[in-house]
A and B are shown apart, each in its own frame.
Chain A
Amino acid sequence: MADRHEMWKSLGMNIEQHDVLCSVLPGAVGDVFMSQKNRPKGMDFWDMVVADVHGIRPAELIEEQKKGRKVFGTFCVYVPDEVIIACNGIVTGLCGGSQFWVPDGEAVLPKNTCPLIKASVGARLGKTCPFFRIADMYVGETTCDGKKKAYEILGEDVPMYVMDVPQMKRPEDIERWSHEIAMFAKKVEEFTGVKLTVENLKKSIHIVNEKRKALGRVYNARKNKTLPISGRDSLLMMQISFFDDPERCATMCNKLADELDQRVKDGVSVVDAGTKRILVTGTPLAIPNWKLHNIIETTGAAVVCEEMCTGTRYFENLVDENISSLEDGFKALANRYMKTNCACFTPNTGRIDDIKRMVKEYNVDGVIDCNLKFCCLYDTEKFSVGRALKEAGIPVLQIETDYTDTDAEQLRTRIGAFVEMLNK
């Protein structure tokens, strides 16, 4: 693996601190991923990316910047990648998923902020993540209160554009979101110097749709009784798809899906027959947050689906490619994005419908509903989610956790008891 220190230095990173992170990551990857048996060959690609996660893609992004392209960092699946890609920009996800960044975030944020926000702010201010250094512009959104306020703080350090996401889904809200996308497009045009046209928008919609379809194919393979891939491996693929070039992402996911389809035909499963199948739902699992999946899958169960933004919400529903004007395009985008069911909206009963549907589609035995500590929205929604699932006769375990390991044993007990209950 190439030595990336010169690159990190040129990005103005805090090298000493960052070396600490680099020294713990390989161990974590080894424990969580390499210890698994019978992994699909196609995972080699993601193993390679994660082994050099702060090198391989950042180096590519810097090369593209040299050619004049702009990099946009995003924090939410509501931000329409299509607009950025159409204007020759590059999108990279920026959500922080490690406790490592939390203390730097807590230096400026209240302690009772969700760890995802603390880690994201900490990664920028602590100068310990290359993606946070590389992004030319951050794109925020008015989803939860914690993020809104955090964007104000980040905005003092880096160019920041905030999209106004509606909180309801009435026709006029969808209309408003389409306007908001049009306004965002102006900003992107300005920043990239590339005019948005029906042609380039059509093309970018197609690119992102193909990526969604490819991710969806991998998920489709997980619906089979013969489980061809672990939850941990699928999660890694999903997390990295937020950083990768969308066309390469689609190619790699399609290749993996081909292999998984073949495995299903050949009856190759990564778990023993009868292993209980878990759907996880709740707040996003940003890289390198593998804690929940790791505990579930080392407690004798398998994760077969994530009803999360790092999961089905990222790829379900396609954008209509049949557009004849920009206006059309913005509407098509708004229609697709407003189908994503996030707890920031009220009401959000669509999420419950999604979970119930996926329980059937993915042959799920039990649901684990988990939110990050201090995420008031998903925590509150647990009440209606739990009630609806119980009414439908679907076993559910509701938990809360953060990025530390302090509760790992308690989680192991609860999840273990839940799996024992399903196995009875």
Chain B
Amino acid sequence: MNKYFIGIDIGSTSAKTVVLDENKNIIERILLPTGWSSKETSEIILRKLNDLNFNVGNSTIVATGYGRVSVFFANKAVTEITCHGKGADYLFGGEAADLLVIDIGGQDTKIIQIKDGNVVDFLMNDKCSAGTGRFLEVMSNALNLKMDELCDMAAKGSDTHISSLCTVFAESEVISLIGRGEKRENIAFAIVDSIIKKVCQQAQKLYRPGMKVCLTGGLSEFKYISDSLGKELKTNVEAKEDGRYAGAIGAALMAM
């Protein structure tokens, strides 16, 4: 009988599930919004997995993310730091011995340093939403733009800055920029620039030249974000399509 390894990453905005086979190949991905109850989301995931013929009988399941404890059918729970680290190493590790992972999540930003496949240091910003995905979400709403539109627009803007460190104040700054008739491109630029600067400030604390840097999490699909991070850190920042599944992949690897 085949054996499967399932990782479930319940984040603040979305829940990611990945199924690996014995050869560590990704054979299934499930993406769901977390909704208001991570318990309910877990139940939906369980049903979906059962429909796909993955079950407690033929699989080992590891849960991660802030909702990890509500995945009642998991064999164990592991923190998102360890899982993101393992997942990023799976996606980007390869030859690189020193990997720096930047994960901009819905409500926190993680910087993880990996050496030979293991987490050796990490930083986590969870004190406020500035410098997290939530910040971008609030701001793109204020501009009435979707994330990809915001990035496209930001690429064309320049020379405008937001000074507030707090999301609430930054939002009113954005609104007054709109009121002053500032070009939307420039406002979009200022928004993305502000988060990039904040994230890089954190990343600088662990970054050393020679490290391979990668971006995981939901924002890794936006090239403008990884490029801007790279510009600020003066290095290449890699991103991959499966970047948002890094936590779930890591959890599945922990199930092996």
Contact = CB atoms under 8 A, between A and B. Distances in A.
A417 B81 CA distance: 6
Question: What bracket does the count of chain A residues touching chain B fall in?
Answer: 10 to 19
B77 to A, nearest CB: 9
Interface stretch (B2-10, B116-124, B178-186): B116-124
B78 A413 contact: no
B66 A417 contact: no
Given A410-B126, A413-B80, A417-B82, A424 B118 contact: yes
Interface in B96-126: 108, 118-122, 124, 126
Nearest to A396: B121
A416 interface: yes
Please classify the interface of chain B as helix (H, G, I), strand (E, B), loop, or mixed, using the class held by over half of its residues.
mixed
Nearest to B68: A413
Interface in A405-424: 409-410, 413-414, 416-417, 420-421, 424
A417 B78 CA distance: 8
B126 A420 contact: no
A416 B254 CA distance: 15
B80 A421 contact: no
A395 B122 CA distance: 11
A421 B126 contact: no
Interface in B45-98: 66, 78-82
A390 B208 CA distance: 14
Contacts of A414: 79, 81, 124
Contacts of B120: 395, 421
Contact of B119 (A410, A413, A417): A417
Contacts of B119: 417, 420-421, 424
B66 A420 contact: no
Contacts of A395: 120-121
B81 A409 contact: no
Interface residues of B, number: 14
A190 B62 CA distance: 67
Contacts of B79: 413-414, 416-417, 420
A424 B120 CA distance: 9
Contacts of A413: 66, 79-81, 124
A420 B78 contact: yes
A390 B121 CA distance: 10
A410 B118 CA distance: 21
Contacts of B126: 410
A131 to B, nearest CB: 33
Interface in A305-331: none
B140 to A, nearest CB: 25
Indicate the member of A390, A410, A416, A417 with the most B CB atoms within 10 Å: A417
Contacts of B118: 421, 424
Nearest to B107: A410
A413 B79 CA distance: 6
A416 B119 CA distance: 13
A421 B122 contact: yes
B83 to A, nearest CB: 9
Contacts of A420: 78-79, 81-82, 119
Nearest to B124: A414
B95 to A, nearest CB: 21
Contacts of A421: 81-82, 118-122
Interface in A354-404: 390, 395
A312 B120 CA distance: 28
Nearest to B127: A400
Contacts of A424: 118-119
Nearest to B122: A417
A181 B169 CA distance: 50
Contacts of B82: 417, 420-421
Nearest to A417: B81
A268 to B, nearest CB: 28
A409 B81 CA distance: 14
Max chain B Cβ within 10 angstroms of own Cβ: one of A390, A395, A409, A420:
A420
A358 B55 CA distance: 49
Contacts of A390: 121
Nearest to A390: B121
A395 B108 CA distance: 22
Contacts of B124: 410, 413-414, 417
Interface string B8-38: 0000000000000000000000000000000
A390 B118 CA distance: 17
A416 B108 CA distance: 16
Contacts of B66: 409, 413
A407 B199 CA distance: 21
A424 B81 CA distance: 13
Nearest to A400: B127
Nearest to B117: A424
Nearest to B205: A386
B126 to A, nearest CB: 5
A87 B114 CA distance: 59
Contacts of A409: 66
A424 B119 CA distance: 8
B204 to A, nearest CB: 14
A268 B237 CA distance: 51
A416 B124 CA distance: 13
A420 B250 CA distance: 13
A410 B79 CA distance: 10
B103 to A, nearest CB: 12
Nearest to A422: B119
Given A413-B66, A420-B119, 12 more contacts: A395-B120, A395-B121, A409-B66, A410-B126, A413-B124, A414-B79, A414-B124, A417-B79, A417-B80, A417-B119, A420-B81, A421-B82
Q: What are the nearest 10 A-B pairs in CB distance?
A: A417-B81, A417-B79, A416-B79, A420-B82, A424-B118, A421-B119, A410-B126, A413-B79, A417-B82, A414-B124
18 contacts: A390-B121, A395-B120, A395-B121, A409-B66, A410-B108, A413-B66, A413-B79, A413-B81, A414-B124, A417-B80, A417-B82, A417-B122, A420-B78, A420-B82, A420-B119, A421-B81, A424-B118, A424-B119
